[in-house]
Structure 1
């Protein structure tokens, strides 16, 4: 291990985080062994070398907050957290990941309570104890929690949810019966005009300051997760490495497109170090599994055109070589990780056909022709719209084949298929972006 905090080498500054999160695969029923098995699979398949290096821990890891307000780890989930003095620590787990050349991310909530307490009431891994002991969110404990998470435990990233601000209002049954204390709501889902946006922003701003206090001058990733609520597109890039623009993704084509659209609507907000986040990749799940590789390739293509964080969300240990090849396509990943960090813009939308254009640091362009529908269609983009000059060469980033470009880039696309190209001037010269 290396670096001032003993962590693995940091991700390239200013690029979207890449890695894996257990939520879509395991929800709260995850274990240290399952996480480490996926981490090992990322190493063995070459996906870690391709860039997927953040290993996140999502909801469910906490047992309670003790009388000194310190977060206690659920040791049945993380056996390595048992310390000789009777305390608990995630430092051994983080050290293990760092020794593998990986990075570690943790989950919390900006309110008093977490999403599982509102939405997974039957989970076996909910916080335990009194009402106060079950308040494991960061509200009123930001400084102490960030010192613990980024100082003592040495995490590299944090995902900060907002169910604590939305789902524990006085009208909720679990609040009425005394299970939880009432809070807000500061966020009223689907009703932006009812949100207490200033309070939500202030909480995330304060959390960011506490992180920077613990790790000044350090590239620590903060993922803001208000699901597009509380007008996060207005302020998210002031504090977050990424900010969720949408509700939770589901493993369906419809959900993927809906989430894509929320991020595609705001290309002006993205740039080096700050990215719209349409949620995790569903590669390997549902309509993006090994039986739906065209859809899987389209999914990754669209996230790459957005410069979105590439966070895998299924059990990698069960993946076929074909799925590994999709997720590990270095040329597609390079679009997402391009240092210019300029998000693609939608230059044409006609029915189920959509054309995206993205400028890259070397002066080339990325073009995506997208069939959003369930019937074949033909799409075309005049090369005159690319802002390039002279003879052009296109490279298909999925077949890795090059050919000269004519007056237009055209394709006959199957249902749910995306053509992803990199287009450069034949001379190879770098021009004004």
Structure 2
């Protein structure tokens, strides 16, 4: 009786959605936009209703969420659904599948990319050929420290200025400019290639660079010969953020390849990996997998690699970043070259202070100094704030063509000394009032870095309460931007969006 009743219900469901029933089955896309690169679909209907899976080159097999029929077109009912790639900040938009007489046509939008693609009914062989591989994640283990980054890493990264339009020639010229400008000697030693260098994998699975980078080993040798270090970029997903090849399924192989090339720094960006790893446990596991792979590559080749975790500050990454072999971890999404973006990150999204210290650092993203979107005063605030936070200092400008003002900002030895202080304590605000903030940071020699920040749109007069800061009534005070001593009782005029940064000694 129960079986018969269930069978009747199932039949009624199918009859009630006859147009939709015609769309069930297996489908393959002839062509689809490269993002997210849809390849096939499997649509089913049973007593519980419609359900399906759509496969993406970026995110693997994704459930077709809220799959339902709508309208009644000339060729039958349409299907509407959406997908979720694991990014909590991106709102998924509806996609539509409409019969077109020959098959199905997909239209809609996936985040920032419009979709239009035709699909035909597929054979079992076609579906099998497009099967998306899956790989197990490792069990939790502790990855020992590589001993690097005892102070926050300093250097240059290609993304903020060049995005994916980066090549071997530009990287070599940047290396030469770091030496010529004196910035290498100021501490900026990492030359980091961000997204856009990756080519395809050979039959052996080894990832080759693309045509813009003909010989990575030779490039590493060139950079090393100038007293600098070379960095590279990848993702735990199948695709990088710009759509290049990621390390998915080839983690250990890639780590060994980079070590063999002579790479000194890896930025590992979650990107399409968020479609597979979007819980605290899976994100930690995938970053642990690469940390262990880098450690194994170091054992095999003697090449230690600074490990930068870029998963946008999710799941309290600073609490476990060291445990997976990390040396720095992003506390936020990408910075933009504007005061609004920089100040929101620096003042409000700077990580948990207790997580930072020698060997592991909160990373509020790269510097925008010199890229033109902020005033000199705002850039001075940018670098002062990063120094007070003990943040990595990774320039993002074209160092081949800097103004004197930009070079003076980036090369200020007294501010750099605060950032690189061996105690490694992150500074904190001790006073916030009417759009102004007073920050302090204890330093290894017993002195204290003090920054008076003005977040308002007009100049303000500020002074420090030295006794309240534990420095007595008459500390020795050194203005780190004016490069001169100042009387401890002197009130400071701080420009709009500006800063006064001093080092005070009892």
Scaled by the length of structure 2, the TM-score of the pair is 0.68
Label 1:95 to 1:397 Cα distance change in 2 as closer, same or farther (>3 A): same
CA distance in 1, matches of 2:249, 2:427: 39
Q: Is the 8 A contact 1:374 1:416 kept in 2?
A: yes
Indicate if the aligned counterparts of 2:466 and 2:472 stay in contact, CA closer than 8 A: no
Query: 1-side partners of 2:460 and 2:414: how far apart?
Result: 25
Picking from 365, 383, 386, the partner of 1:303 is 386
Larger Rg: 2
Q: 2:286 aligns with which of 174, 198, 203?
A: 203
Matched, 1:369 2:452: yes
CA distance in 2, matches of 1:47, 1:113: 33
Do structure 1's residue 417 and structure 2's residue 473 form an aligned pair?
no
Matched, 1:65 2:65: no
Partners of 1:277 and 1:286 in 2: how far apart?
22
Counterpart of 1:17? 153
Deviations 1:174-209 (A, max 9, x none): xxxxxxxxx43x33xxxxxxxx11100011112111
Q: Does 1:101 align with 2:186?
A: no
Q: Which residue of 1 aligns with 2:271?
A: 163
Would you tell me which structure has more strand in proportion to its own residues?
A: 2
Preserved contact between residue 422 and residue 444 of structure 2 (Cα < 8 Å): yes
1:187-336 pair list within 5 angstroms: 187=278, 196-216=279-299, 220-238=305-323, 239-288=325-374, 292-336=375-419
Any conservation in 2 of the 1:245–1:262 contact (CA below 8 Å)?
no
Q: Counterpart of 1:395 in 2: which secondary structure? A: strand
Tell me the C-alpha RMSD between the 2 structures: 1.9
Measured in 2, the distance between the counterparts of 1:54 and 1:266 equals: 25
Q: Give CA deviations for 1:371-398 in whole Å, capped at 9, x if unaligned.
A: 1121222323310122234631100000
Shift of 1:424: 0.7
Give the number of equivalent residue pairs.
Answer: 358
Mapped contact 1:364–1:422 kept (Cα < 8 A): yes
Matched, 1:345 2:428: yes
CA distance in 2, matches of 1:416, 1:329: 19
Residue 155 of structure 1 deviates from its aligned partner by 0.7
Task: Say yes or no: does 1:113 pair with 2:199.
Answer: no
Partner secondary structure for residue 115 of structure 1: coil
Range with greater deviation from structure 2 (245-254 or 343-352): 343-352
Cα-to-partner distance string for 1:197-230 (whole Å, 9 max, x where unaligned)? 1100011112111111222487531110011223
Per the alignment, residue 190 of structure 1 pairs with none
Map Cα deviations across residues 163-183 of structure 1 (whole Å, 9 max, x no partner).
Answer: 1223xxxxxxxxxxxxxxxx4
Tell me the SS of whatever aligns to 1:101: coil
After TM superposition, the runs of 4+ consecutive aligned structure 1 residues lying more than 6 A away are: none
Distance change (3 Å), C-alpha of 1:65 and 1:43 = same
TM-score after normalising by structure 1: 0.79
Segments of 5+ residues of structure 2 without an aligned counterpart are 1-145
Whether the 8 Å CA contact 1:223–1:240 is kept in 2: the answer is yes
Change (3 A) 1:421 1:219: farther
2:442 aligned residue: 359
CA distance in structure 1 between the partners assigned to 2:351 and 2:405 by the alignment: 31
Instruction: Report the counterpart of residue 43 of structure 1 in structure 2.
Output: 179
Q: Is 1:380–1:411's contact at 8 Å kept on the other side of the alignment?
A: yes
Indicate the SS of the match to 1:116: coil
Residue 189 (structure 2) aligns with: 53
Higher relative contact order (CA 8 A, sep 6+): 1
**Counterpart Cα distance in 1 of 2:322 and 2:349:** 13
Helix, strand or coil at the partner of 1:316: coil
* Alpha-carbon separation, structure 2, partners of 1:401 and 1:320: 23
Partner-residue secondary structure (3-state), 2:463: strand
